[in-house]
């Protein structure tokens, strides 16, 4: 008899890893009956023909978000004290006092922080969140779905979504094993573990060490190192198209060599458009010296600002916009959903660009897998003023300490050096590919191409132990 697995999508961020890769196909080949437990606006049945159980009740307890915010602040306070490191305070978002409602919420959260600012306090907050979510109609609704469908295990595609708390509690209370996948390379030190499950799948030994370090209630035998499906498409040679076909598809000039500028979200890089302008100026200057260069601008999928428009219009002779294939299914960032076609497009942007430039993005890994270097911008823009976030703090974050050495990326720390760095890369004198691959192995694990298989093996092992 096939084991039934519920794959839970509390929001859209897991679709890319677990709906559009070969994850489902591999699981079915291993004999699992896979049902998607879908809390998103994206219909897996209508769009992909997958079996799904839709979660129509989306209501968390009204106090849950406030307790979660308090928990995050307390966890960061505890980490700052425990590790004697001020970096943790930079992960906090500022409180808002704008309007009575926001002011009241802020005061409530601050009282919670003041009363629970310790590891014991975190335990109290965790228990309170679980009590709140067990009292909701959503908890009862999800519990009923589980009683009807009787899955053998629930696999949650991200550990950071509040929408999954009540669903996973319902599963645990029915004695159904639960597994959460830690979604992103920077999530653990940033206090972004919202859910508590029986087991966890992580990218690498590094991430396993971090989970044990930051969450003492998680034991070593609960953590499995699997890798992430995020990078699996880069090992799929069937996605590759010829340079001529790729250039024709996107109206690129076959006589030019293209540099990819990978855009960032407004929070991470609020002045990102000016780094694109700097690259355009460097390219113009190099073109007067006999280089025939262009720029592919691939925006951040969740950035819908118009901040690049002026610079794109001014440089439309050398900058070609190739938007990612994502769909806006709602108003929130996690309702901007990827499409399967984007894998192929990203693969070939990496394959047919000379290198990538951006601010602190994990696209460094996408490109080194295609043997292409990466320039990280790490200088202030003159437009920086009070109230605008300086990008420099990004590189102080804990996840950047995973770099094996300073050569794992090429850092541009002075605008005046950008042209020379671009020239040296194009001339074959400068690269971070070798060290970047070492960094990738540290972050993403030793078997990045087999992550989906490793996750299904983990699920099988867990079920066999039950």
In this prediction, what percent of the chain has a pLDDT beyond 70?
Answer: 98
| Overall average pLDDT of the 144-158 stretch | 98
Residue 126 CA to its chain's centroid (Å)? 24
Q: CB count, 10 Å around CB of 164? A: 30
Question: Can you read off the two tokens belonging to residue 64?
Answer: 């849950």
| H or E element that contains 298 | strand 293-298
Question: Can you read off the two tokens belonging to residue 165?
Answer: 């708390």
Q: Is the dihedral of CA 283, 287, 290, 294 positive or negative?
A: positive
Instruction: Please answer whether residues 268 and 394 qualify as being in contact, where contact means their C-beta atoms are separated by less than 8 angstroms.
Output: yes
pLDDT tens readout for residues 236-245:
999 999 999 9
Question: Which residue segments constitute the domains of the chain, with CATH numbers given?
Answer: 3-60+136-227+447-465 (3.40.50.2000), 64-131 (no CATH), 234-443 (3.40.50.2000)
Q: Is the dihedral of CA 390, 394, 395, 398 positive or negative?
A: positive
* 19 phi, psi to nearest 5 deg: -115, -35
Mean pLDDT of the chain: 94
Q: CB count, 10 Å around CB of 113? A: 18
Pairwise CA distance, residues 308 & 357, whole Å? 16
Instruction: Determine the pLDDT at residue 335.
Output: 64
More reliable by pLDDT, 453 or 391: 453
Helix (H, G, I), strand (E, B) or coil at 412: strand
In this prediction, what percent of the chain has a pLDDT beyond 90?
Answer: 86
Residue 138 confidence (pLDDT) above 60:
yes
Closest CA to 23 of 258, 219, 226: 226
Instruction: Determine the pLDDT at residue 332.
Output: 64
Helix (H, G, I), strand (E, B) or coil at 363: helix
Instruction: Please answer whether residues 42 and 329 qualify as being in contact, where contact means their C-beta atoms are separated by less than 8 angstroms.
Output: yes
- Using the CB atoms, write b or e for 434-447: b if 16+ within 10 Å: ebbbebbbbbbbee
Instruction: Determine the pLDDT at residue 331.
Output: 59
**With bands split at pLDDT 50, 70 and 90, how would you rate the model's confidence at 9?**
very high
Residue 411: C-alpha distances to residues 390, 418, 421 (Å): 16, 9, 9
pLDDT tens readout for residues 415-451:
999 999 999 999 999 999 999 999 999 999 999 999 9
Pairwise CA distance, residues 219 & 210, whole Å? 12
HSE of 396 in the Cβ direction (CA atoms, 13 Å)? 11
Cβ contacts of residue 368 below 8 Å, gap of 6+?
A: 374, 432, 433, 436, 437, 439, 440
pLDDT tens readout for residues 307-357:
999 999 999 999 999 998 877 666 565 566 777 788 999 999 999 999 999
Residue 466 confidence (pLDDT) above 90:
no
Q: CB count, 10 Å around CB of 38? A: 23
More reliable by pLDDT, 330 or 186: 186
Pairwise CA distance, residues 331 & 276, whole Å? 26
**With bands split at pLDDT 50, 70 and 90, how would you rate the model's confidence at 115?**
very high
Which residues are registered as beta bridge partners of 37?
Answer: 8, 53
Residue 27: C-alpha distances to residues 80, 234, 302, 329, 377 (Å): 41, 20, 30, 27, 40
Pairwise CA distance, residues 160 & 451, whole Å? 20
pLDDT tens readout for residues 265-322:
998 999 999 999 999 999 999 999 999 999 999 999 888 899 999 999 999 999 999 9
Instruction: Determine the pLDDT at residue 334.
Output: 58
For residue 239, count CB atoms less than 10 angstroms from its CB and return exposed for 0-12, middle for 13-18, buried for 19 or more. Answer: middle
């Amino acid at each position: 008899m096939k084991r039934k697995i519920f794959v839970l999508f509390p929001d859209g961020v897991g679709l890319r890893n677990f709906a559009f890769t070969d994850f489902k196909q591999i699981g079915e080949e291993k004999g699992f009956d896979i049902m998607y437990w879908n809390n998103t606006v994206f219909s897996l049945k209508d769009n992909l023909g997958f079996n799904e159980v839709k979660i129509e009740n989306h209501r968390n307890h009204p106090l849950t978000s406030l307790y979660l915010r308090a928990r995050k602040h307390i966890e960061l306070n505890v980490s700052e004290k425990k590790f004697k490191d001020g970096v943790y305070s930079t992960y906090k978002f500022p409180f808002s006092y704008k309007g009575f409602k926001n002011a009241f919420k802020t005061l409530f959260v601050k009282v919670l922080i003041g009363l629970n600012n310790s590891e014991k306090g975190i335990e109290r907050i965790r228990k309170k969140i679980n009590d709140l979510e067990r009292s909701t109609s959503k908890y009862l609704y999800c519990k009923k779905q589980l009683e009807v469908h009787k899955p053998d295990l629930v696999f949650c595609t991200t550990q950071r979504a509040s929408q999954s708390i009540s669903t996973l509690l319902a599963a645990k209370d029915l004695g159904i094993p639960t597994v959460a996948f830690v979604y992103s390379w920077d999530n653990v030190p940033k206090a972004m573990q919202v859910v508590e499950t029986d087991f966890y799948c992580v990218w690498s030994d590094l991430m396993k060490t971090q989970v044990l370090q930051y969450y003492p209630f998680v034991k070593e035998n609960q953590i499995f190192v699997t890798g992430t499906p995020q990078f699996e498409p880069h090992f799929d040679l069937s996605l590759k198209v010829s340079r001529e076909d790729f250039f024709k598809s996107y109206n690129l000039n076959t006589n030019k060599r293209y540099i990819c500028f990978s855009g960032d979200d407004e929070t991470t890089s609020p002045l990102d458009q000016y780094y694109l302008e700097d690259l355009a100026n460097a390219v113009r200057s190099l073109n007067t010296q006999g280089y025939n260069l262009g720029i592919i601008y691939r925006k951040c999928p969740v950035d819908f600002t118009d901040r690049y428009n002026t610079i794109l219009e001014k440089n439309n002779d050398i900058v070609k916009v190739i938007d990612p294939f994502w769909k806006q299914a709602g108003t929130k960032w996690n309702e901007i959903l990827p499409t399967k076609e984007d894998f192929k497009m990203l693969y070939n942007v990496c394959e047919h660009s000379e290198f990538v430039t951006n601010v602190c993005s994990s696209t460094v890994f996408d490109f080194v897998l295609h043997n292409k270097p990466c320039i990280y911008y790490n200088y202030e823009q003159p437009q920086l003023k009070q109230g605008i976030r300086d990008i420099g703090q990004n590189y102080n974050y804990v996840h950047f300490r995973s770099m094996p050495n300073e050569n794992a990326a090429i850092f541009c720390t002075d605008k005046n050096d950008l042209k020379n760095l671009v020239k040296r890369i194009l001339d074959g004198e400068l690269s971070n590919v070798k060290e970047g691959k070492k960094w990738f192995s540290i972050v993403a694990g030793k078997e990045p191409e087999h992550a989906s298989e490793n996750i299904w093996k983990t699920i099988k092992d867990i079920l066999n132990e039950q």
